[in-house]
Amino acid sequence: MRSLIAVTVALAAFGTLAKPAFSQEPIKIGVMFPYTGPISAQGRPERDAIKQAFDEENNTIAGRKIELLYEDSTGRPDTGLTKIKALVERDKVHLLLSELVSSIGAAVAPYVNEQKMPWISTVALASLTRAQKSPYIFRFVPSSYQYATTAAEVAKKMGWKKVYFIGWNAPPSRESYEAVKKVFGEENVVDAMFPNVGTSDYAPYLTKMDTSKADGVFTAMWGADAPRIVQQYVEYGLNKKMPLFGIASFTSEELLGDMPAASVGVLSAYTYCGTLDTAENKKFVEGYQSRYKAVPGSYQYMGYMAAKMVIQAIKDINGKVEDREAFIAALGKVKVKGPMGETSFDEQHGMVADFYVLTVEKGSNGQLQNRCGERIPQVKDPYASFP
Amino acid sequence: MTNLLPHMSGRKFAVIALIGTAVLLALPYFLPPYYLGLVIKMMIFALFAMSLDLLLGYTGMASLGHAAYFGMAAYVTGLLALKLGWSVWLTLPAGILMAALTALLLGLLALRTRGSYFLMITLALSQVVWGIAFGWRSLTGGDDGLPEVPRPNLPLPWSMADSTPFYYFVLFFVVVGTLLLVRIVSSPFGCALRGIRESETRMLALGYNVWRYKLAVFVLAAAFAGLAGCLYVFNNRFVSPDYIHVARSAEVLLMVILGGAGTLIGPALGAAAIVLLENIISTYTERWLMILGFVYVLVALFTPNGLTGLIESLRKRRSGP
């Protein structure tokens, strides 16, 4: 009897030794976005695209299963922080692939840094790679300074000399204005206007614009406000004399459905262009369309590619995500060729990616789409101009 | 003490309070850190809801702008701790004082109205405070708020960055706050407030200066909301305009109504229930707002006196007519 027990114990011990400890447990990834509230229209599609990226790997990387744990940040910073704590302390995730709201990003960053928890965010908050930078935080989305500087430089190359600026009375628009001022010089900004988020009538602002005084208008507002200002801009006939240049994802694919037909010709410069003809983009767009019956835009692209970066980093360390230092070192070096070209992180963990000049046009099916113009290769966050 | 739960004898209350305190003191020993964090959040919101109940339940004034004082104290505490590095013994009173002063100022305007007009004007005034926090970017950080506010640094062997010592820190202030609130509502001043709730004109006829009483309770309620706001900054280590938003004022109003206005334990229960529901259900389903909505509807339909009303009616049924 005693020997039988000994044999059993020995076998059991052998069993646990034979299997490498790390390959049994799944890799747990915390995916927190706003799934309810006003920003859920961006949060849910981005999560869907992240799911798509992991499904393309059959949810198994380097022999380990992937488990995505979802939490709803509701778009509020204190709730977001509580939910991140739930993922880290209760669910013991190995890494976070989360969030797009800048106020939540600012609230979560100190906690994530303290916990030494790898966090790949799509929060366009410039401070994440500046004042709040951390070896554990990666920002896979251009910062406000990065996208606005690029937009301003494109417009300057097109021959713009004097400009108007209209944007939300909110941090990303204010920072965009700083970038426009830097590129054009303050004396060349005829007027800068900052209506509140959700303003329904832009007449007081648009009537102030004098087409003889400027070459074009920069606008930095997004979501439902973007189609609204385009509609009114066209109604006032301003588009015939002064082109409108949207900053960042102003003409993102998911918004084009709400844009008026007359918005053909609206410009922007950003990291995603839906009609770009590459094999990777075709796979992304068709995969997303067949799953979710919608055209993916820039938010989906960020989620999809952020997931691809994580997948490549996990492969590079052979699935050993328990070694966080090795994981963040690998992620810092990852280069992935995606739908829009190669993407990577700079030394402060900001996104490095190709930008494209986009022009809204009417597609062959009568729907609005983005025409992909000049490619601006490997744009980095301008740390030197905006420390 | 009968105001804590209606129809409860002093001795029974003492027993319940003792058991409750013992459980709260022992919690860190069997709760993992995340759940302890949820309890901290529940306690802070319990204090916040009880402070609003001073207005809504005891004086009959429905304010839809109570988050203004919560947020004002949070900003003052956060700014002083972050930018000037003041110790908690200065930032906490400064936050509470600022909340009370703001209430004094806004109360002079708001208390000229009653009923739904009072509701509207408190809402409007709190939006003004929100607008300042949102717009004054150089001071408040605008929409992104102020991150990296340090936890209090006390001359104790335990660091407040750990959840257990911080839990006791919050517990201490919440218990002190609750005891003060109990004292206030059971004092002659509290009786006068209930009198005002029942009939303002009769109180006037009795020679009470009703307006002065209302202003006093408005400022007092703001001070307790301010204490909750200070604790909330230390808990989250950041402050943002979201603290003052009308959605938060509405949330705390719902906590009071769900728990049962006019008792102190009701709002505390309501706060705990809502924090728990929000954080637990939302992990399992995106439709958690719908579930929360159903709970509100059910409470409104079947237990108009809130959770405490439900407990009372169950108790009565068991002991017979």
Q: What CATH code is carried by the domain that includes residue A171?
A: 3.40.50.2300
- Please state, in angstroms and rounded to a whole number, the distance separating the CA atoms of residues B191 and B52: 17
Q: Are A379 and A355 in contact (CB under 8 A)?
A: yes
C-beta separation of B160 from B169 below 8 A: yes
- Looking at per-residue pLDDT, the higher value among B209 and B320 belongs to B209
Q: What is the mean pLDDT of residues A5-10?
A: 51
For the segment B294-308, the average pLDDT, to the nearest whole number, is 83
Check pLDDT > 60 for residue A13.
no
| A40 to chain B: closest CA residue | B286
Please list, in sequence order, all residues whose beta carbon lies within 8 angstroms of the beta carbon of residue B52, skipping any fewer than 6 positions away. Answer: B63, B66, B221, B225, B252, B253, B255, B256, B267
Q: What share of chain A is helix, strand, coil (3-state, %, to 5)?
A: 45, 20, 35
Q: In the prediction, which pLDDT does B321 show?
A: 52
Q: Give Cα A161 to chain centroid, integer Å.
A: 30
Contact A107 B147 (CB under 8 A): yes
Q: Within this chain, do residues A162 and A261 fall inside the same structural domain, yes or no?
A: yes
Residue B19's CB: how many other CB atoms inside 10 A?
10
pLDDT for res A11: 46
Interface test with B, best of A32, A69, A71, A78 (most B CBs within 10 A): A78
How near does any CA of chain A get to the CA of B82, in Å?
14
Which chain B positions have a beta carbon within 8 Å of A71's beta carbon? 282-283
Chain B residues with CB under 8 Å of A31 CB are: none
- Say if residue B100's pLDDT is above 70: yes
Task: Check B242 against A76: CB less than 8 A apart.
Answer: yes
- In-domain check, residue A129: yes
Are A36 and B288 a contacting pair at CB < 8 A? yes
Q: Note whether B138 contacts A: Cβ–Cβ < 8 A.
A: no
Q: Which residues of B111-120 are buried (b: 16+ CB within 10 A; e: fewer)?
A: beeeeeebbe
With respect to residue A28, please indicate whether it lies within any of the assigned structural domains. yes
Q: In the predicted model, what is the mean pLDDT of residues A280-304?
A: 94
d(CA A23, CA A318): 10
* pLDDT given at position A224: 82
Q: Cα–chain-centroid distance for residue A253?
A: 14
State residue A23's pLDDT score: 53
User: Is residue A385 in some structural domain?
Assistant: no
pLDDT of residue B320: 59
Contact between B242 and A86 using a beta-carbon 8 Å cutoff: no
**Residues paired with residue A350 on neighbouring β-strands, in sequence order:** A139
Asked if B38 lies within 8 A of A82 by C-beta distance, the reply is yes
- Distance from first CA to last CA of chain A, Å, rounded? 73
In chain B, which among 23-52 make CB contacts under 8 A with chain A? 32-35, 37-38, 41
Q: Based on the domain organization, do A35 and A117 belong to the same domain? A: yes
Give percent above pLDDT 70 in chain A. 94
Which of A82, A103, A114 is closest, CB to CB, to B41? A82
Residue type, A296: P
- Lowest mean pLDDT across A21-30, A49-58, A326-335, B57-66: A21-30
Residues recorded for chain A:
387
Does A220 lie in the same domain as A176?
A: yes
In a domain? residue A6: no
Give percent of chain A with pLDDT exceeding 90: 76
Minimum-distance CB partner of B147 among A74, A89, A109: A109
Most confident of B21-25, B30-34, B45-49: B45-49
What average pLDDT does range B178-205 have in this prediction? 91
Report the distance separating Cα A179 and Cα A144, nearest Å: 8
pLDDT score, position A6: 54
**Residue B69 corresponds to which tokens in the numbers above?**
């004082």
State how far residue A45 is from chain B, nearest Cα, in angstroms: 14
pLDDT attached to residue A197? 83
Phi, psi of A246 (to 5 degrees): -85, 135
**A125 contacts chain B (CB < 8 A):** yes
Task: Kindly state whether A109 is in contact with chain B, defined as any CB-CB distance less than 8 angstroms.
Answer: yes
Inter-chain touch B137–A174, beta carbons under 8 Å: yes
Residues sharing a CB contact under 8 Å with residue A327, sequence separation 6 or more, in sequence order: A94, A95, A118, A313, A314, A317, A320, A321
Closest residue on chain B to A30 (Cα): B283
Q: Do B283 and A71 touch (CB under 8 A)?
A: yes
Strand-pairing partners, residue A301, are: none
What does the alpha-carbon distance between residue A83 and residue B284 come to, in Å, rounded to a whole number? 12
Into how many domains does chain A fold? Answer: 2
Quick one: what percent of chain B has pLDDT higher than 90?
54
A170 touches chain B (CB under 8 A): yes
Residues of B in contact with A117 (CB under 8 A): none
- When pLDDT is cut at 50, 70 and 90, the band that residue A15 belongs to is very low
Give the distance from residue B32's alpha carbon to the nearest chain A alpha carbon, in angstroms. Answer: 8
- State the smallest CA–CA distance between residue B290 and chain A in angstroms: 11
Kindly report which listed range (A98-112, A171-185, A186-200, B7-21) carries the lowest average pLDDT score: B7-21
Looking at the partner chain, which of B35, B41, B144 has a beta carbon nearest the beta carbon of A171?
A: B144
Query: Do A95 and A75 share a structural domain?
Result: yes
- Does residue A127 share a domain with residue A64? yes
Q: Do A90 and B34 touch (CB under 8 A)?
A: yes
Residue B2: per-residue pLDDT: 41
Sign of CA dihedral A286, A291, A296, A299: negative
Give the pLDDT mean for B183-193: 92
What is the Cα–Cα distance from B127 to A75, expressed in whole angstroms?
A: 19
Give the DSSP letter of residue A73: -
Round the average pLDDT of chain A to a whole number and report it: 90
As a whole number of Å, the CA-based R_g of chain B is 19
Whether residues A90 and A187 share a domain: the answer is: no
Q: Is residue A200 part of a domain?
A: yes
A36 in a structural domain: yes
Given an 8 Å threshold on Cβ–Cβ distance, is A86 in contact with B279? yes
φ, ψ of residue A96 in degrees (nearest 5): -115, 135
My answer on whether A328 and A375 are in the same domain is: no
In a domain, A11, yes or no: no
Range of the domain at A244: 145-270+355-379
A78 shares contact with chain B (CB less than 8 Å): yes
Residue A364 clears pLDDT 90, i.e. is over it: no
The verdict on A313 and A222 lying in the same domain is no
pLDDT over threshold 60, residue A221: yes
Nearest by CB: A103 against B34, B242, B247: B242
According to the model, what pLDDT value does residue A2 have?
A: 52
Inside any domain, residue A307: yes
Q: Which two tokens stand for residue A50?
A: 């992240």
Q: At B113, is the secondary structure helix, strand, or coil?
A: coil
Between residues A254 and A177, the one the model is more confident about: A177
What's the pLDDT at A24? Answer: 67
Question: Is the Cβ of A35 closer than 8 Å to some Cβ of chain B?
Answer: yes
Does residue B222 carry a pLDDT above 70?
yes
**Same domain, yes or no, for A293 and A262?**
no
Give how far B255 is from chain A: nearest CA, Å: 16
Contacts of A83 in chain B (CB under 8 A): 279, 282
Q: pLDDT tens digits for A53-85? A: 999 999 999 999 999 999 999 888 999 999 999
Give the mean model confidence (pLDDT) for residues B3-22: 71
Say yes or no to pLDDT of A159 above 80. yes
* φ, ψ (nearest 5 deg) of residue A320: -85, 70
Q: Are residues A113 and A208 in the same domain?
A: no
Between B11 and A82, whose confidence is greater? A82
pLDDT over 90 at A164, yes or no: yes
Query: What is the mean predicted confidence (pLDDT) over A351-368?
Result: 92
pLDDT of A223 reads: 81
CB spacing of A171 vs B32 below 8 angstroms: no
pLDDT band at A256 (very low <50, low <70, confident <90, very high): confident
Please write the tens of the pLDDT for every residue from B231-262: 999 999 999 999 999 989 999 999 999 888 88
Question: Which one of B147, B247, B279 has the shortest CB-CB distance to A106?
Answer: B147
Report the pLDDT value the prediction gives residue A17, as an integer from 0 to 100: 45
Residues in chain B with CB shorter than 8 Å from the CB of A78 are 232, 236, 240, 242-243
Q: Same structural domain for residues A256 and A331?
A: no
Find the CB nearest B240 among A77, A89, A111: A77
The beta-carbon neighbor of A171 closest among B142, B236, B289 is B142
Dig out the tokens for B317 from the structure: 């049924």
pLDDT level of residue B138 (50, 70, 90 thresholds):
confident
Nearest to A85 among B34, B147, B242 (CB): B34
Using alpha carbons, select from A262, A270, A214, A257 the residue that is nearest to residue A239. A262
Question: Domain check: are A118 and A150 in the same one?
Answer: no
Judged by a CB distance cut-off of 8 A, whether residue B243 touches chain A is yes
| Residue A286: CA count within 13 A, CB half-sphere | 7
Nearest to B143 among A83, A85, A103 (CB): A103
Average pLDDT over residues A35-39: 84
Confidence category of residue B170, pLDDT binned at 50, 70, 90 = very high
- pLDDT confidence tier of residue A18, bands split at 50, 70 and 90: very low
Q: Is the pLDDT of residue A281 over 90?
A: yes
